[in-house]
Structure 1
Amino acid sequence: MTNFVSGNSLAEVAALIGDPARANILQALADGRALTAGELAWHAGVSAQTTSGHLAKLADAQLIALEKQGRHRYFRLASPQVAEAMEALMLVAANGPKRHRPTGPRDEAMRTARTCYDHLAGRLAVALADRLSARQFIILSDGAAAITEDGYRFFSDFGLDLDGGKSTRPLCRTCLDWSERRSHLAGRLGAALCQRSLDLGWIKRGKDSRAVTFTPKGIAGFRETFGISMP
């Protein structure tokens, strides 16, 4: 059962995210991967001791979760909803007052293709949603999405397993893209498309960024399979 959220509860979570170091930590984890405290200290730009305090606060608020593997400790986002909240906040921030900051290659890479927790975002993801809709493999309407019978056949032929088992996660839904101001695909379909692209070697994750890069095989694959031309 979902708890009723009071203004005080909302303010507490907002205050946690509002700290720049903690916001950078959550951003670093927004691609769904688990990172060590040392890696997160680098992303946060603060000392290891300070990072430890931030991680404790985020864990207490159930925004992040701790995973242990032997002597190693890793941190990841507690749920896809935290990543969605960060993406929504990025959209709000992008629409806010303009602040001068030189645009660099990393900005363009993030806008071209990136991960949003476990699904794709950026121009690539929006183009995917457009092409799948145009070919009537999915139906997009007022922020919702559904897969057609032709779509199920296409995704099966592409190697996707969309059987959710006991998962209560939506099969197909949309997520508003902060950089494109349009919707990309999330849910189990979005996650499956992202993972299949990684498995095929079409895209590669970045080391220090959510941006993903295209391989020559991927450029050809997206063009031939989906009719998408990417740089």
Structure 2
Amino acid sequence: MNKLYCEDLIRFSDAMSDSNRVIIISELMNGRALSASWLANRLNLSPQATRFHLKKLEDVELIEHRTCGKHRYYKIKNQETAMFIESTFKVIPPKDCLFLPNVKTNEKFKEARTCYKHLAGSWSVALTQSFINNGFIDIQNNFFEVTENGKNFFNEHKLLVNVSNTAFVGKRCIDFSEHRDHIGGPLGASLLQSMLQQEWFKQNDNNRELTITPKGRKKLKSIIN
């Protein structure tokens, strides 16, 4: 057996020898990107202790992080790593007692809210994934770019009307409640503004919550597939 392989196996075994790190890996295995603060709350640990465990997992290249605003979001490094971890879970599955209850947050807030100037929440994540699946936007590193098909689609639904070219580029922004990408930047701001003008959502004055209207729910369900 290759000595270097043995050393890697020992480092992996050491990294996975703590139940807190097993929980972190288990949480990340569904493809989400989670912030250190979210994980600290989930684990009921101090920020310092959580960062220690995250560094252990990064050192053996099981996870990596991406900075978004003031926060670091952690995810499984790549598909090959996820497949390797999955194979170890098949042999030694995590016990049910390792999983902690989900943090309860307001359902309406989780459904739709403003994130700076763009839409966030479950509706935003669903829209983003639908746009990707239908080829209306492409992923370019940390950005989304509207395709020619996307321009036609957005114009048809009056989602991008009389906007500058900068509105066709959006930043990949990780949704804190859904833990998946949604569209930020100029594209996200233009989309939200158009949806507000068409009264798909109503904006609450005193907080970030958005109220989806019957018209908006019908329109969104018709374009999300």
Report the RMSD for the aligned CA atoms in angstroms: 2.7
TM-score, structure 2 as length reference:
0.52
Q: SS at 1:146's partner residue? A: strand
1:147 and 2:146 matched = yes
Q: Summarize the alignment of residues 191-206 of structure 1 with structure 2, pairs less than 5 Å apart.
A: 191-206=189-204
1:113 and 2:57 matched = no
**Aligned to 1:95, which of 39, 43, 68?**
39
Q: SS at 1:97's partner residue? A: helix
Q: Runs in 1 of length 4+ with deviation above 6 angstroms?
A: none
1:227 and 2:224 matched = yes
Q: Which range moved further: 129-138 or 90-99?
A: 90-99
Question: Which letter maps to 2:224?
Answer: G
Q: Aligned partners of 1:211, 1:162: CA distance in 2, in Å?
A: 27
Flag structure 2 segments of 5+ consecutive residues without an equivalent: 1-33, 45-100
Q: Answer whether contact 1:172 1:187 (CA < 8 A) is retained.
A: yes
- Report the counterpart of residue 183 of structure 2 in structure 1: 185
Q: Answer whether contact 1:118 1:191 (CA < 8 A) is retained.
A: yes
Q: Aligned partners of 1:137, 1:170: CA distance in 2, in Å?
A: 11
Give the drift of 1:193.
1.1
Q: Aligned partners of 1:137, 1:175: CA distance in 2, in Å?
A: 17
Question: Which letter maps to 2:217?
Answer: I
Aligned pair count? 134
Q: Aligned partners of 1:199, 1:206: CA distance in 2, in Å?
A: 14
- Percent of matched pairs sharing the same residue: 31
Structure (1 or 2) with the larger CA radius of gyration:
2
Flag structure 1 segments of 5+ consecutive residues without an equivalent: 1-89
TM-score, structure 1 as length reference:
0.51
Q: Output one character per residue of 1:172-204: Cα deviation in whole Å (capped at 9) or x when no partner.
A: 221111111111001221111111111111111
- Sort the Cα spacing of 1:139 and 1:207 in 2 relative to 1 into closer, same or farther, 3 A: same
Q: Answer whether contact 2:201 2:210 (CA < 8 A) is retained.
A: yes
Q: Summarize the alignment of residues 42-61 of structure 1 with structure 2, pairs less than 5 Å apart.
A: none
